[in-house]
Chain A
Amino acid sequence: MSVSSIFIFILKILGTLLIAVLGVIIGLFYKGIDRKLAALLQSRVGPPIRQPFLDFFKLMIKENIVPKNAVPWIFNGAPVLALVSTITILFYLPFGPIPALFANSGDLILIVYLLAMPAVALVTGGFSSGSSYASIGAQREMVLLMSYELPLVTTVIVLGWRLNLAFPGLKVFSLASFSTNPIWGIVGPLGFLGAILLLFTLVIVTPAELSVVPFDTPEAETELAGGVLVEYSGRNLALFELTNAVKMVVMGTLTIVLFFPYNISPLLSLSGFPAYIMDILFFFVKLFVVLFFEVTFIRVALARLKIDQASSAYLIFLSVIGLIGLLFMAVDYLI
């Protein structure tokens, strides 16, 4: 191995560490903003924006209780698995002008798989915690996972397929191709409508991925007292909280990459370093707007759904919308 390749290897390790830490910090920060905005929408004062950080540190020094009935290695392993798989997604996502760390090795299909991992970890953790509340929560999480996967995959596949039709020979599911070729530019008016439907699908899938109201049925505080998370405390709960915060960034970024990959620097005719800084700032603004509509707004405006209602909302209603989106895209290509 040559010196330069070792150097790149070390650089990549440092990069992963940096991205993991930054992802966590940005996630917790956006969580704080989300809580503050929700509070303002509900005419409350709300917690300070640094509250999720305080919660995290508090949870880290609290006792980590493993129930007697639990299977300890699964129970303790689940939160780690959830966090690791979520942070892994960050390595494959481009953040505005910054290309993904592992841009050449992973694609959208991998991200879809990795997105399912935290839910799977929650299910295993819930079942292994030996509580009936957690078991019901885990059953619900499983049902929900199976329900929202179809619309999510529909969105991803349709976008990839359309990109492939427009640019044969491109690595279609690579995120770099999505961010350099925005979907809005390559479709006609009907396809534009289809893309809006697909965007809607992705926006509605996000609350379930992040398990917030109205799709927080697996955790359902007033019914199941926290559901899958009911037995988790201390460090393990803190890891799940982190997972959720990072997942928020992931879902927001995914929406941005797939639908709004635009940069602001060409508009301001900047170049070089200032352009880079402006684009990064612009990315954060986009993330803020996207997360506001995907998370805060939805959770303030709706009541929690029952599991059968949530499941049919995804499997029937949202899948149909996704398929109509596909139809529009296909018709748009044919005519």
Chain B
Amino acid sequence: MSKTTYKIPIGPIHPSLAEPMTFNFEITGERIERVDLVPGDNHRGIEFMGRNRNIIQIIYLAERICGICSASHPYAFCRAVENAAGIEVPPRAEYIRVIIAELERIQSHILWAGIAAEELGFNSVLYLSWKVREEVLDLLELLTGNRINYGMFMIGGVRRDITEEHLPRIRKTLDYYKETYQTLENVFLKDPSIAIRTKNVGILTYEQALHLASVGPTARASGIKKDIRQDQPYSAYADMDIKAITPDFFTGEVKGDVFDRIIVRILEVAQSVEIIEYCLDNLPEGDIVSEPKLAKLLAVLKKAKGEGVGRHEAPRGEAIHYIKLNESENPEVWRARAPTYNNLMSWIPMLQGQEIADIPIVTASIDPCIGCMDRVTLVESKTNQQQVLTREDLIKLSIAKTRRMMK
């Protein structure tokens, strides 16, 4: 590096970051030359806590991995356990799950849109979007009892039914979003004030997104048609014809910049409304859970043996849960991978060559959820120093652990 560069740290605590995360920037003038990420400030030991609980207790723990994706993680977790223990889910429960997951997507994307506006210094739009978001939160409270952390999911189904009385209220919300969709489109996609700050900023090309295994709207904005709801449809998604949304639906071309990520998320709000409408029209009759008695369900799970993987397209991308049951009260292994983990490395090509003023909006553009992502922190107990492991170290550790588990 030449002498003209200087270093500025952003984080772990900074107004543009909602959660602790450190970026070390090397900067020339206002231009970013190099960026280094230092995650690991928000490790909560959730997987460890899970290994000391029984399966049903873990559902509520999984829900609290992320406050915004509080339907996605239990969704993926329940699917993993059902996969491992071979539990069938009644069709009505599958539809209700999808309705809750899509309502969550609406609230998550609108929340993100507000945050993005705030990062641009556009507070009016922040207040507008969050006002629009209240409608879906009210509906979620009516359906599940909570605005977030819905407590809706159960192994083999859902805990609450959507009854006839709920339907008019849900349709009212859907109509509200159909009406306000035009407002959102005008504010975010047609407003020059947002366009000049987001077009050609934080570009992630198709190749880079593929190489870094980006997921969710981040990957789709770069033109990768990747969406589990489309690629490996599950639950009620299998009955629908879902297309992964890419920005060329709106502009006719894919650039992979921040503006494209806004387009994808705004269009996905409309897509979610359509999905929920389909689910309401085709809601099958029947049970909402395969085994309503928890003690009996727990007894079945205690005897189960096997591995299971559950995937769900969370608002931020693909959430994967892996579980290994071994005929005991607690699972032997529980692994949760939040979408932010995949998208983290996309920050580096996005941020390089940008200006300081772009840092907040570019970091926000992948909709990071650091708390969901931080699974491991290595700390030397004597010196209290954090360690960074390279790829080789990780491979060595993985091989060692596999050997240990195979014994």
Residues in A lying within 8 Å of B, measured CB to CB: 41-44, 132-133, 136, 213-214, 216-217, 220-225, 300-309
> Could you tell me the distance in whole angstroms from the C-beta of A145 to the nearest C-beta in chain B?
16
Cβ contacts under 8 Å, A222 to chain B: 15-16, 118-119, 121, 360
Q: Is B406 an interface residue (CB 8 A)?
A: no
The answer to whether A213 touches B121, judged by C-beta atoms less than 8 angstroms apart, is: yes
Q: Closest 6 CB pairs between A and B? A: A304-B121, A303-B122, A306-B357, A42-B127, A303-B120, A222-B16
Q: A225-B14, A302-B122 are in contact. List 4 more A-B contacts (CB 8 A).
A: A221-B121, A222-B360, A301-B193, A302-B193
> Could you tell me the distance in whole angstroms from the C-beta of A305 to the nearest C-beta in chain B?
8
On whether A301 and B357 interact (CB within 8 A), knowing A136-B30, A307-B30, the answer reads no
**Interface code B4-27, partner A: CB below 8 Å = 1, 0 otherwise?**
001110000011100000000000
On whether A220 and B127 interact (CB within 8 A), knowing A136-B30, A303-B197, A307-B357, the answer reads no
The answer to whether B121 touches A303, judged by C-beta atoms less than 8 angstroms apart, is: yes
Q: How far is the CA of A136 from the CA of B10 in the complex (A)?
A: 13
The answer to whether A304 touches B127, judged by C-beta atoms less than 8 angstroms apart, is: no
B117 closest partner in A (C-beta)? A303
The answer to whether B8 touches A42, judged by C-beta atoms less than 8 angstroms apart, is: no
Cβ contacts under 8 Å, B120 to chain A: 303-304
Cβ contacts under 8 Å, A221 to chain B: 15, 121
Cβ contacts under 8 Å, A42 to chain B: 123-124, 127-128
B196 closest partner in A (C-beta)? A309
Cβ contacts under 8 Å, A301 to chain B: 124, 193
> Could you tell me the distance in whole angstroms from the C-beta of B178 to the nearest C-beta in chain A?
21
Cβ contacts under 8 Å, B16 to chain A: 222-223
Cβ contacts under 8 Å, A41 to chain B: 124
On whether A223 and B357 interact (CB within 8 A), knowing A302-B193, A303-B193, A309-B196, the answer reads yes
**Interface code B91-133, partner A: CB below 8 Å = 1, 0 otherwise?**
0000000000000000000000000011111111101100100
- Band of interface residues on B: 20 to 34
The answer to whether B360 touches A223, judged by C-beta atoms less than 8 angstroms apart, is: yes
> Could you tell me the distance in whole angstroms from the C-beta of A303 to the nearest C-beta in chain B?
4
> Could you tell me the distance in whole angstroms from the C-beta of B12 to the nearest C-beta in chain A?
13
The answer to whether B118 touches A43, judged by C-beta atoms less than 8 angstroms apart, is: no
**Interface code B352-386, partner A: CB below 8 Å = 1, 0 otherwise?**
00011111100000000000000000000000000
Q: How far is the CA of A217 from the CA of B118 in the complex (A)?
A: 14
Q: How far is the CA of A223 from the CA of B11 in the complex (A)?
A: 11
Q: How far is the CA of A222 from the CA of B114 in the complex (A)?
A: 14
Q: How far is the CA of A60 from the CA of B388 in the complex (A)?
A: 45
Cβ contacts under 8 Å, A308 to chain B: 30, 355
Chain B contact residues: over half helix, strand or loop, or mixed? helix
> Could you tell me the distance in whole angstroms from the C-beta of A226 to the nearest C-beta in chain B?
8
Interface centre among A214, A306, A309 (most CB of B within 10 A): A306
B121 closest partner in A (C-beta)? A304
The answer to whether A220 touches B124, judged by C-beta atoms less than 8 angstroms apart, is: no
Q: Is B194 an interface residue (CB 8 A)?
A: yes
Contact of B15 among A216, A225, A300 (CB under 8 A): A225
Q: How far is the CA of A220 from the CA of B118 in the complex (A)?
A: 11
B127 closest partner in A (C-beta)? A42
Q: How far is the CA of A300 from the CA of B122 in the complex (A)?
A: 8
A302 closest partner in B (C-beta)? B193
Q: How far is the CA of A41 from the CA of B131 in the complex (A)?
A: 13
Q: How far is the CA of A301 from the CA of B192 in the complex (A)?
A: 11
Cβ contacts under 8 Å, A132 to chain B: 6-8
On whether A300 and B124 interact (CB within 8 A), knowing A132-B6, A225-B14, A306-B355, the answer reads yes
The answer to whether B122 touches A304, judged by C-beta atoms less than 8 angstroms apart, is: yes
**Interface code B328-366, partner A: CB below 8 Å = 1, 0 otherwise?**
000000000000000000000000000111111000000
Q: How far is the CA of A217 from the CA of B355 in the complex (A)?
A: 13
B201 closest partner in A (C-beta)? A306
Contact of A136 among B128, B131, B193, B356 (CB under 8 A): B356
> Could you tell me the distance in whole angstroms from the C-beta of A227 to the nearest C-beta in chain B?
10
B123 closest partner in A (C-beta)? A42
Q: How far is the CA of A118 from the CA of B266 in the complex (A)?
A: 42
The answer to whether B358 touches A303, judged by C-beta atoms less than 8 angstroms apart, is: no
Q: How far is the CA of A214 from the CA of B120 in the complex (A)?
A: 9
> Could you tell me the distance in whole angstroms from the C-beta of B352 to the nearest C-beta in chain A?
17
> Could you tell me the distance in whole angstroms from the C-beta of B292 to the nearest C-beta in chain A?
44
The answer to whether B121 touches A43, judged by C-beta atoms less than 8 angstroms apart, is: no
Q: How far is the CA of A132 from the CA of B121 in the complex (A)?
A: 21
A-B contact pairs, 16 of them (CB 8 A): A132-B7, A136-B30, A213-B122, A220-B121, A220-B357, A222-B119, A222-B121, A222-B360, A300-B123, A302-B122, A303-B125, A303-B194, A304-B120, A304-B121, A304-B122, A306-B197
Cβ contacts under 8 Å, B14 to chain A: 225
A224 closest partner in B (C-beta)? B356
The answer to whether A223 touches B124, judged by C-beta atoms less than 8 angstroms apart, is: no
> Could you tell me the distance in whole angstroms from the C-beta of B110 to the nearest C-beta in chain A?
15
> Could you tell me the distance in whole angstroms from the C-beta of B148 to the nearest C-beta in chain A?
22
Q: How far is the CA of A41 from the CA of B123 in the complex (A)?
A: 11
Q: How far is the CA of A300 from the CA of B126 in the complex (A)?
A: 11
The answer to whether B357 touches A217, judged by C-beta atoms less than 8 angstroms apart, is: yes
Q: How far is the CA of A42 from the CA of B30 in the complex (A)?
A: 32
The answer to whether B127 touches A44, judged by C-beta atoms less than 8 angstroms apart, is: yes
Contact of A223 among B7, B128, B359 (CB under 8 A): B359
Cβ contacts under 8 Å, B197 to chain A: 303-306
Cβ contacts under 8 Å, A309 to chain B: 196
A41 closest partner in B (C-beta)? B124
